[in-house]
Amino acid sequence: MPAVHLRHAQLADILQQAASLYGDVKRGVTVSVTVDPEIELLMDPEQIRRAVGNLLNNAVEATDSGEIRVTARRAPHRVVIEVADPGRGVPDRDKEKLFLPYFSTKGRGTGLGLAIVHRIVNDHDGRISVHDNYPRGTRFEIELPA
């Protein structure tokens, strides 16, 4: 992984840029972004864009139709970014292994995408977690210090 180059940046710009790469990738799947345009963070914009892009890539692959939602909100002393999809979901037995290098629930791929996301989030002193998205699908939550 390249070294982290921190600078102040608008989170809305980063999330919109990441989402724009996936908006028209799959017929019947849309990507929406809801974020306070005033949220500014000390971050490496390229790495955060890559992390959100990796999550979106997985969400698009897991979703046959529907809306993938990218949201960001302020919370006490942190900002929470969520990527939620209405796809197949992740079995409970796999959730704790998702961020391990080379682990994959797909029949193809390297199993490095979520490990890279985990590393980027850790390099920003943040946390990432995976949850069920109700009524179906998966929701990833990234918490970054604000």
Over residues 31-47, the pLDDT tens digits come to 999 999 999 999 999 99
Q: What angle do CA 13, 14, 15 make, to 5 degrees?
A: 95
**Host domain of residue 85:** 7-145
Over residues 74-90, the pLDDT tens digits come to 999 999 999 999 999 99
pLDDT given for residue 28 in this prediction? 92
pLDDT given for residue 107 in this prediction? 66
For the entire predicted model, the pTM comes to: 0.93
Q: Is residue 95 part of a domain?
A: yes
- Please state the domain count of the chain: 1
Query: CATH number of the domain that 140 lies in?
Result: 3.30.565.10
Q: Is residue 1 part of a domain?
A: no
Distance between CA atoms of residues 50 and 63, nearest Å: 20
Q: Is residue 102 part of a domain?
A: yes
Distance between CA atoms of residues 93 and 112, nearest Å: 19
Q: Is residue 136 part of a domain?
A: yes
Q: Is residue 119 part of a domain?
A: yes
Instruction: Write down the mean pLDDT value for the chain.
Output: 93
Residue 9 confidence (pLDDT) above 90: yes
Identify which of 114, 34, 43, 47 has the alpha carbon closest to the alpha carbon of residue 74: 34
DSSP three-state, residue 39: coil
Comparing 21-25, 76-80, 125-129, which segment has the lowest mean pLDDT?
A: 21-25
Q: Is residue 2 part of a domain?
A: no
In which region does residue 102 sit, left (phi positive, over 0), alpha (psi from -120 to 50) or beta (all else)?
left
